[in-house]
Amino acid sequence: MPIERFGLGAALWRTRRYILPELKHFIAFAVLSGIAMLLELASTLVFFDLLTNKVFLGDPLSGTQASLLGLEPARFVDVETLDEEARFTLRTVFLAVAGGLMAIGFLLGAGLGYYVTWILQRVNQHLRLAMMDRAVHLSLRYHDEAPVGDAIYRVYQDSAMVTTVVQNALIQPATVLTNLAIALVAISFFHPYLSFLFLIAAVPAVAAARAFTPRLREGSEYSRLANSALTSHIQESVNGVRVLKAQQAEATAFDTFRQRSHQALDRAYELRRRIAVLNLLVFLTTAAAVIAADYLMTQWVWAEAPTFGYGLVALVGFAVWNLGAFQAARDRNIAIGGVSVALANLWSLLQDIGTGLKRAFFLLDLEPEVQDRPGAKPLPQVREGVSFAHVDFAYQADLPVIRDATFTARVGTVTAIVGASGAGKS
């Protein structure tokens, strides 16, 4: 079956009414995330230099480093090399500062993870309430024709795509792209050839993502259809368990369940397999760039070549290529590789999200068949009863269920509709 395209931009625009009530929390999360990323970058660059060049090799500190750490310039700056006592002192200071920053980073990371989960669940709750409100106002004809478990699957599973699209189409891409940009700028100050290598590696990675996109959308559509069919069968079997036992049809129901369960598992496996292949291709391209960058950096360290952004990276002791510069740049290179695979995985998830949102918004797009007339007044409290006059109803135009029914349902009584089995009384 053809897979309809569903724009994520349009999906994000439609979710605004559920996001705007939590806008202040999203802004606070973005500010805290920015602080965490800058703290991580600064800590990485400084710690690699302090540990490898100063503590291990005994190189003197820069004036800025000594001032920030509260160390005496006479012992740690204005010397040829650090003596053993100074290196032990610096080691102790390094461990104390590193431990404190690691504790802050751990608390900040754990807190941000909890915070964003709390925000997204509030957004999801807004959508679920809207979906349930629309579902209960749809006509009996719609509920008669729709599978029993389809609306349930849409409300509890497909609705989660709204929070997923906020996290994976807004929060995660913004975070990952910011980290990628910071890492590319950082390695450019060491040498622009390094960032150029990763830009070259991005070409085949983007080509692979483009080639896999239609397959990912198709696999997501088939997977969700199979799971929806499985959910509907389970709901129908549970509701009709007495009929199944009376007709001795348990074996048939179980065989159908097993068949649909296997089909749902096969569809889900095929989708994950395609995602894994795309991630592997992106990983191989970035791994080749990391290996090439390691080779170039090794040559620069042997030659003690000056770094490209001498005036900036010299602030953390990387005026020339040394062990600390190699370790810091390599850490950024590996981070770029990890971010590239994360972007490929996010792109795969976005295709699945688009399919889920299309199904979730399908329920919201349905207009109730029976609507109030303009200027209709709320139903007053029932005191004696409710009168019906000349009521007609049919699930289909050629199969009427009720014709010209006139009666009064009084308070405290039960009014039953009598008819043959299968006539549509329920």
List pLDDT tens digits, range 9-18.
666 677 777 7
The answer to whether residue 151 scores a pLDDT higher than 70 is no
When pLDDT is cut at 50, 70 and 90, the band that residue 363 belongs to is low
User: How confident is the model at residue 423, as a pLDDT?
Assistant: 54
User: How confident is the model at residue 422, as a pLDDT?
Assistant: 55
402 vs 293, more confident: 293
User: How confident is the model at residue 5, as a pLDDT?
Assistant: 43
Sign of the dihedral through C-alpha 392, 394, 400, 401: negative
When pLDDT is cut at 50, 70 and 90, the band that residue 284 belongs to is very high
Question: How many whole angstroms separate alpha carbon 134 and alpha carbon 136?
Answer: 6
The answer to whether residue 95 scores a pLDDT higher than 70 is yes
User: How confident is the model at residue 11, as a pLDDT?
Assistant: 65
User: How confident is the model at residue 1, as a pLDDT?
Assistant: 34
CATH class (in words) of the domain with range 8-365: mainly alpha
341-356 confidence digits (pLDDT tens): 989 988 888 888 777 7
Question: How far out from the chain centre does Cα 423 lie?
Answer: 46
252-262 confidence digits (pLDDT tens): 888 888 999 99
User: How confident is the model at residue 142, as a pLDDT?
Assistant: 52
The answer to whether residue 298 scores a pLDDT higher than 90 is yes
- Nearest C-alpha neighbor of 82 from the set 61, 67, 65: 61
Per 3-state DSSP, the chain is made up of helix, strand and coil in percentages (nearest 5) of 75, 5, 20
Mean pLDDT of 16-32: 86
The tokens of 47 are what?
């710690």
Lowest mean pLDDT among 85-99, 307-321, 400-414: 307-321
CB atoms within 10 A of CB 366: 15
- Nearest C-alpha neighbor of 326 from the set 362, 292, 301, 358: 301
161-194 confidence digits (pLDDT tens): 667 777 777 888 888 888 888 888 888 888 889 9
When pLDDT is cut at 50, 70 and 90, the band that residue 382 belongs to is confident
The answer to whether residue 73 scores a pLDDT higher than 80 is yes
242 vs 426, more confident: 242
User: How confident is the model at residue 405, as a pLDDT?
Assistant: 85
Question: What rounded mean pLDDT belongs to the chain?
Answer: 80
> Considering the chain, what percentage of its residues have pLDDT values greater than 70?
82
CB atoms within 10 A of CB 364: 15
User: How confident is the model at residue 364, as a pLDDT?
Assistant: 63
Under DSSP, is residue 209 helix (H, G, I), strand (E, B) or coil? helix
Q: What are phi and psi of 125, to 5 degrees?
A: -65, -40
232 vs 258, more confident: 258
Mean pLDDT of 24-40: 86
The answer to whether residue 419 scores a pLDDT higher than 90 is no
The answer to whether residue 399 scores a pLDDT higher than 60 is yes
- Domains of the chain, residue spans: 8-365, 384-426
Q: What are phi and psi of 409, to 5 degrees?
A: -95, 105
Q: Which residues touch 297 (CB under 8 Å, ≥6 apart)?
A: 190, 191, 194, 321, 325, 326, 329, 330
Under DSSP, is residue 425 helix (H, G, I), strand (E, B) or coil? coil
Mean pLDDT of 197-223: 91
Lowest mean pLDDT among 78-92, 137-151, 177-191: 137-151
User: How confident is the model at residue 403, as a pLDDT?
Assistant: 83
275 close to 323: Cβ distance less than 8 angstroms: no
